[in-house]
Chain A
Amino acid sequence: MKTINRGLAAVTLAGAASISGQAAADSVDRAAFQELFNEPVTTSATGAPQRATEAPVNMTIITQEDIQRSGATDIPGVLEGLANVDVMRSTRGQTDVAIRGYNGGMTPRLLVLVNGRQVYLDHYGMTNWDAIPVQLSEIQQIEVVSGPNTALFGFNAAGGVVNIITYDALRDDIDQVTAAAGTNGYVAGSGVWTMRAADNFGIRVSVGGFDADASDGDDLLSNAGFGYGALDPSARSASLNAVYALSDKTRIEAEATWSLDERLERYQGSLIEGDYETSSLKLALFSDTSLGMFSAQIYSNNLDLTDNLSLGAIRFDNAITVASASLIMKPAPAHTLRVAGEYRMNEYDDGLGTLSYDVYALSGMWNWQATSALSLTSAVRFDTLELEREGDTLPLMPFTNADYSRDFSEWSYNLGAVYKLSDNDSLRFSAARGIGSPSLLEYGFQLPVPPPGPGVTAFYLGDPATAPTIVYNAEIGWDHNIPSINGRLRASLFWQKNEDLRMLGAYSQVFSLVPTVAGTLAGNIGESEMQGFEIGVEGQQGRIHWDAQYSYRDISDDFETLTSPTAQANFEDASPEHVVTGGVMWIGDRWEFGADARYTSETQQFGQGAVLTGLSSVDSYVQLNALAAWRASDTLRLELSGHNLLEEETQTVGVSPVERSVVLTLRSSF
């Protein structure tokens, strides 16, 4: 069912139609280029537009057609069709996604963006997928990069990148409403409207949301005495995107978004009620100049998060502002260059003071088409981060504001070579150094906690001395087109080393004896190494589309002794060693039927069931999904999707079991 056809997917879907020509300046007109090259194009590999088959990184592109045929109700559900993507559903409302293991929940290793604007939340270093203000029906494609791509995207593109690309408000006419209802109290709806106010002015508005019942697993956890009752998750979001073409060569884009999400989320030994409210504003300029493709953008993201813990409510107020500019040039026939600069201001208000950092970055990329068969790419980026804190601190706090005045500089690179062995075969070599910056909480969290004894003052703290995580990655990939099945085989072999992995609550420390001040401190916990391989094959014969993928990872941790009793870090046992996915779909004129399955091998997980400390075994499991869709007319589509059909409840790598569910969805395009 989750057929990921990079080369085969059609451009159009019911209700989507191109409404403009294409010589206008970019942002890149992906639909037009996909039509031209008969394959998706991307900018998420090097910043320059590239055909998917020529990208010098391990990339999968999921098209809108793939999304519809996945039967998924959220973006993680779409990504679950990829064997190298790990989706952890810890509660009914909390879903965490990682690439190639290392999914400890609220993972900081995956940078998630919407049209280049990060929706990754810097306060903690995580992504709340339900708070992303995008409706599935307005997504043109999802570009998934496996491995670091810091040289393009900066900090936190350490383990991978998910860049969600929406349709263009001027070029693509998307008008669609959906209504869905299912078991477990699931009710959802969305609407996307595109208005062309003039030949050179388009607006797209989208709204959506869902309500669901907490799962039985959430009830189990909350009844076990972890402080909070099961919470019925819900989300609402809205976005407005406007494009104004100043000329054939220059366009301005503006975007405003808002989202609200309530969920029960797990953090180490605690269950937390998290109330997220996000908003953003973005302005971007794109121009085809005589020098090349120029783009500049500025955006501001705001997060207002209230975490209700058993200790009380904690409010996180995080604002980031990012300004960047880039120029892509082709000064000689075989050479493409990209130069870029970025400024980032990140601010976290903890109620007493403000912790902030500024990041200044310069980056460059050089692609050399050395021969008609060999393409070489080098990308380098240099980032300087300056951290500071202003305002009051808690009494007896072991850190003063001066302790937070620090800076560091890091460089990152992505090197790649693509060699076409034949019309049907290409080899891809890549090496990368990625950077994962400590989150704002890892730098400067200050939380008083109940003292372990009389006369003791205790804190839960970030540590301003926490070092960034450095990720080295090397990979060899082989792409083989198989015309006889109208498909392809992809295989890759990779090695990765993560230095200075980080976590909150890693170390217990006594800061002074008189008065007695103790704390649980964030910090670097050691390193971890991984090697693995992936192989996938997909094909299409007549009306049948199918795919199968296998991902193997062998992870070895080398951690310090974590002195905090609640510290939990174990990637080598918690990451599944084997993941197999496969799907088949029959596509008729009116009807579509499909099924897909995902096998995940045995893991050791923290905090299963009612016990939130210590490792316990989670048996291997298979999740089976199915979809039946009926296109009643060109504008009306009805879908019945079943998820996790083999068992009423399946204990997956998340905390709470995943329940069987059935969802009926009605899509109407107009």
Chain B
Amino acid sequence: MRLKFVAALVAASMLASAPALATTSERDLQVMARAVGFVEGLPRGNVTVAVVDGPGADAIVAAMGAGVAGGGVTLVPRKVAVGALAGSGARVIIVPEGQGGSHAAIAAAARGLHAVTLSTDMACVNSGNCVVGVAAEPRVEIVVSRAASSANGISFAQAFRVMIREI
């Protein structure tokens, strides 16, 4: 009993000291949908987006509801496990925060799918594993990894490229 109490205390203290996991907000998702509108060669209208299953995925799927519209496309969410991504056929993938350990595997699957990967986790973009990084607040910032977009065969409208930050 005493052992369980100590373990609970340790777990609670670990939770308290762990860095707060940033979440992908509805506003972030809207920016993502609008950014997807500037990807060349993607269909308009309803586009099924794979939300990588794991930490943060449920919150994103819940926030997206039946779909997030913007820029001529509506992103319709579907949770997909990392291992199942390659066979999902998804052209748009959202990578929730807190899945740093899976970035390389997600990137590998996205390359095979020629998919655009989006995340609010800038580390995923900075490492070249995600194509688009998004921050909606305090002002909209969009970062595109040239390496990742090239590897995935993704191109954007030129005006979009000029106005966002490429790395």
Contact = CB atoms under 8 A, between A and B. Distances in A.
Contact of B72 (A20, A41, A293): A20
Given A26-B159, A41-B163, 17 more contacts: A21-B71, A22-B72, A23-B157, A26-B158, A35-B34, A35-B71, A36-B31, A36-B37, A36-B38, A49-B163, A248-B40, A292-B158, A328-B162, A333-B166, A369-B165, A481-B139, A483-B138
B158 A330 contact: yes
A23 B159 contact: no
A23 B37 contact: yes
A45 B138 CA distance: 24
A334 B162 CA distance: 9
Nearest to B39: A23
Contacts of B160: 33
Contacts of A330: 158, 161-162, 166
Contacts of B161: 330
A28 B158 CA distance: 10
Contact of B159 (A39, A293, A334): A293
Given A21-B37, A288-B158, A424-B138, A33 B163 contact: yes
Contacts of A32: 34, 37-38, 71
Contacts of A25: 157-158
B33 to A, nearest CB: 10
Contact of B139 (A28, A293, A423): A423
Interface residues on A, range: 35 or more
Contacts, number: 90
Nearest to A27: B159
Interface in B142-159: 142, 146, 157-159
A165 B148 CA distance: 36
A216 interface: no
Closest 5 CB pairs of A and B: A21-B72, A333-B166, A36-B34, A293-B158, A423-B138
Contacts of B38: 22-23, 32, 36
Contact of A38 (B37, B139, B158): B139
B148 to A, nearest CB: 12
Contacts of A23: 37-40, 42, 72, 157
A372 B72 CA distance: 30
A336 B31 CA distance: 23
Contact of A333 (B42, B70, B146): B146
A51 interface: yes
Given A38-B140, A333-B167, A423-B139, A29 B159 contact: yes
B162 A22 contact: no
Nearest to A28: B159
Interface in A7-57: 20-26, 28-29, 32-33, 35-39, 41, 48-51, 53
B108 interface: no
13 contacts: A22-B37, A22-B157, A23-B42, A25-B157, A25-B158, A36-B35, A36-B37, A37-B163, A50-B163, A330-B161, A333-B167, A423-B139, A483-B138
Query: Interface size bucket, B side?
Result: 20 to 34
Q: Which of B44, B70, B161, B165 has the most chain A CB within a 10 Å cutoff?
A: B161
A23 B165 CA distance: 18
A577 to B, nearest CB: 36
A518 B116 CA distance: 76
Contacts of A41: 163
A294 to B, nearest CB: 9
A14 B31 CA distance: 24
Contacts of B34: 32, 35-36
A223 to B, nearest CB: 56
A328 B166 contact: no
Nearest to A332: B166
B23 to A, nearest CB: 19
Given A20-B72, A22-B72, A333-B146, A328 B163 contact: no
Nearest to A38: B140
Interface in B3-42: 31, 34-35, 37-40, 42
- Residue of A25, A48, A330, A424 ringed by the most chain B CB atoms within 10 A: A330
| Listed residue (B34, B159, B161) with the most chain A CB atoms within 10 angstroms of its CB | B159
A36 B32 CA distance: 9
Q: Which of A39, A48, A333 has the most CB of B within 10 A?
A: A333
A424 B38 CA distance: 27
A36 B140 contact: yes
Contacts of B37: 21-23, 32, 36
Nearest to B139: A423
B27 to A, nearest CB: 9
Contact of B70 (A28, A35, A334): A35
Nearest to A334: B166
Nearest to A287: B158
A28 B159 CA distance: 7
Nearest to B42: A23
Nearest to B136: A38
A336 to B, nearest CB: 5
A29 B158 CA distance: 12
Interface string A400-439: 0000000000000000000000011000000000000000
Contacts of B44: 21
Nearest to A292: B158
A56 B39 CA distance: 27
Contacts of A26: 157-159
A326 to B, nearest CB: 12
Given A25-B157, A248-B40, A336 B162 contact: yes
Nearest to B34: A36
A372 B165 contact: yes
Contacts of B140: 36-39
A155 B159 CA distance: 26
A36 B158 contact: no
A318 to B, nearest CB: 34
A28 B38 CA distance: 12
Nearest to B163: A49
A328 B161 CA distance: 11
Contacts of A424: 138
Contacts of B70: 35-36
A50 B71 CA distance: 18
Nearest to A369: B165
B166 to A, nearest CB: 4
Contacts of B146: 333
A136 B87 CA distance: 53
Contacts of A293: 158-159, 162
B163 to A, nearest CB: 6
B147 to A, nearest CB: 10
A546 B163 CA distance: 29
Nearest to B31: A36
Nearest to A249: B40
A29 B160 CA distance: 10
B133 to A, nearest CB: 12
A248 B43 CA distance: 12
Nearest to B143: A372
Interface in B92-146: 138-140, 142, 146
Interface in A267-308: 288-289, 292-293
A611 B139 CA distance: 55
